[in-house]
Amino acid sequence: MAKFFAGNPLWNEIRRRARKSRTLTACVAYVGRHPLELMKWRPDDRLVVNVTEETVRRASCSARGALALLNRRVQVFQAPDLHAKAYLFDNSAIVCSANVSSNSQDDLEEAGVVITGIGLKPVRRWVRSLLSRDSTTRLDSHVLKALARMEPKTPGSGRSRQRKLRGQKREHWLVRTGRLWVLSTSTDEGETSAEASAARKAASLLVKEGVADEPSDIEWMKACGGRTYKLARAGDGIVHGWEPSARAPFGKFSGPVRCIARVDLGKKWGARRYRLALAAKGERTTALTANALRPLARPLRLRLGKGQFRGFGAVRELKAIKHRRAVARLLGIKAQR
């Protein structure tokens, strides 16, 4: 059996299976500087990677990242000319385009398939053959430390490339995310004890699935509505647009947050059945003005002028980079180096 994943859901699946599995063999072309931050690694897990003098010098592969895994008692193997990417777990495998790097997780559009059942046999056979080849060598700390000394301090090669990168700024994920939604939000009337109990059960299930580490990491957007439930996907960025009030006559923006899952509590909850599970860290709130909203009036379908203001629609997607940057400026988010 095979199931297709792409984008952030693919990385959520890799992390979830790495957390649950007792063993992991990652066969990838390249490893980044901080592999321990991307997924769970256990002693005696295996990393097979194309970490050679050539790939290290051109900063395609990080010997420092491989050394960090070796220091956690992960077995590191050098496989020259390896370009495939496969993650083998206890009872499943993921064959995909994703390397073990933050660039793959945050910046690139990756895709792959999860394989279970009888389809695992050829994957296991290929991994065994890869490890048994004469060209595949198990590396020790002395070799990796020697390679790490060759690694450029800044990604890229050459002084001109390093000077260029020093002047660049990395966009905040709010600008770079695959999809960004502005959702109309109003003050929630509260939830009954039965509804809160159903939400706690849903949160526990998400933790078991590896979507979140703890139920406290999940913040709910309650009664989001059927249309929002259908449109939003895990990994999407969300900004809440609050309706006007006496203190904020043009409304407020709060965010940004990431959607980590969609939850349907069941038919018996009626219009309140649909929820979004959000990872709300570093959320900001700002009151809006007419001048601040003017660049966003068209994509958000707002009516501004002569004291009139028509509030936010139910769901609006911001596709243009200039509109996303305008939202980032409103929320006081600066580009990150």
Final residue before a domain boundary, out of 166, 196, 225: 166
The 10 Å Cβ neighbour count of residue 239 is: 25
Q: How far from 230 is each of 143, 170, 262, CA to CA, in Å?
A: 51, 31, 9
Angle at 253 between CA 251 and CA 258, to 5 degrees: 150
Residue 7 lies in a domain: yes
Domain count, the chain: 2
Dmax over Cα atoms in the chain, in whole Å?
77
Q: How far apart are CA 62 and CA 104, in angstroms?
A: 14
Task: Please state the rounded mean pLDDT for residues 220-235.
Answer: 80
Q: Which token pair is 325?
A: 């940057």
The string of DSSP codes covering 85-123 is: -EEE-SSEEEEES--BSHHHHHTS--EEEEEEGGGHHHH
| 214 and 157, same domain (yes or no) | no
- Which is it for strands 180-185 and 237-242: parallel, antiparallel or unpaired? parallel
| 43 and 107, same domain (yes or no) | yes
| 160 and 180, same domain (yes or no) | no
| 181 and 301, same domain (yes or no) | yes
The lowest-confidence range among 59-68, 115-124, 163-172 is 163-172
Of the chain, the percentage scoring pLDDT greater than 90 comes to 32
- Assign 79 to helix, strand or coil: coil
| 156 and 188, same domain (yes or no) | no
Residue 268 lies in a domain: yes
| 37 and 135, same domain (yes or no) | yes
pLDDT of 155: 46
**pLDDT, tens digit (0-9, with 9 covering 90-100), for 42-87:** 999 999 999 999 999 988 899 999 999 999 899 999 999 899 999 9
- Range(s) of the domain holding residue 278: 173-330
Final residue before a domain boundary, out of 102, 136, 166: 166
Residue 337 lies in a domain: no
Q: Please return the burial class of 51, using the count of CB atoms within 10 Å of its CB with bins 0-12, 13-18 and 19+.
A: buried
Final residue before a domain boundary, out of 148, 166, 184: 166
Residue 201 lies in a domain: yes
Q: Which token pair is 191?
A: 């939830």
The lowest-confidence range among 28-32, 65-69, 247-251 is 247-251
What does the CA dihedral 124, 127, 132, 134 come to, rounded to 10 degrees?
160
Residue 236 lies in a domain: yes
CATH of the domain at 301: 3.10.590
Give pTM, 2 decimals: 0.52
**pLDDT, tens digit (0-9, with 9 covering 90-100), for 288-317:** 777 777 787 777 777 665 444 555 666 777
Nearest one of 266, 273, 269, 279 to 206, comparing CA atoms: 279
| 249 and 109, same domain (yes or no) | no
CATH of the domain at 17: 3.30.870.10
Q: How far apart are CA 35 and CA 181, in angstroms?
A: 30
111 — pLDDT class (breaks 50, 70, 90): very high
